[in-house]
Amino acid sequence: MTAGATADLPDALATIVDDFNALSQPDRLQLLLEFSQGLPDLPERYAEHPELLEPVPECQSPIFLIAEIDDAAGVGEESVVHLIFSAPAEAPTTRGFAGILQEGLDGLTAAEVLAVPGDISDRLGLAQAVSPLRLRGMGGMLGRIQRQVREKSAA
């Protein structure tokens, strides 16, 4: 799959990939910055218990995440996934990646989250603006989200 390919992506994520690829290189960085600013704050229940969040060592900055499973509407593959991230303000690139995953995956079913391809970070057209080395952290976040979803939903 190449930059910009969206056929196998859930709608919200496909929209984000389209948005990035429609912009010039400098504007892509600006959009990533907006995602970093839009990352929701850590909810109260985790602010007191950072140990509940999983660290992501693939990232060059301290970032923690947790996937919550809501099975009110469906169980297993049909349960709904909510994502929570914590990343410091001095790590805006990492926050930006987290913001993309939050907006692109939050509220999907477990099955939909597990079907997201691992090369999502390559499709945003950011390799030139960010450098491939920095993009790898995003794949690490997705891998951890999917593992948590698999374990918690037993999907």
Partner 1 sequence: MPLPYDDNPKFAAYANPERLVSTAWLAEHLGSDGLVVVESDEDVLLYETGHIPGAVKVDWHTELNDPVTRDYVDGAGFAQLMSAKGIARTDTVVIYGDKNNWWAAYALWVFALFGHEDVRLLDGGRALWVAEGREFTTEAPTPAPTEYPVVERDDTTLRAFKEDVVAFLGGQLVDVRSLPEYTGERTHMPDYPEEGTVRGGHIPGAQSVPWARAANEDGTFRSRGELEEIYRQEKGLDAEEPVIAYCRIGERSSHTWFVLEHLLGFEDVKNYDGSWTEWGNSVRVPIAVGSEPGEVPSR
| DSSP string across the chain | --TT--TTS-HHHHHHHHHHHTS-HHHHHHHHHHHHHHSPPPPHHHHT-GGGSEE-TTSSS--EEEEEEE-SS--GGGSEEEEEEE--TT-HHHHHHHHHHHHHHTT-BHHHHHTS-TTGGGGGS-HHHH-HHHHHHHHHHHHHHHHHHHHHH--
Q: Say whether residue 143 binds partner 1 (CB under 8 A).
A: no
Q: Say whether residue 58 binds partner 1 (CB under 8 A).
A: yes
Q: Say whether residue 32 binds partner 1 (CB under 8 A).
A: yes
Q: Say whether residue 130 binds partner 1 (CB under 8 A).
A: yes
User: Would you give the binding string for partner 1 spanning residues 84-123, x where CB under 8 A is met?
Assistant: -----xxxxxx-x---------------------------
Exactly one of 5, 61, 68, 74 binds partner 1 (CB under 8 A); that residue is: 61
Count of residues touching partner 1 (by CB under 8 A): 25
Q: Residue 28 or residue 112: which is nearer to partner 1 going by CB?
A: 28
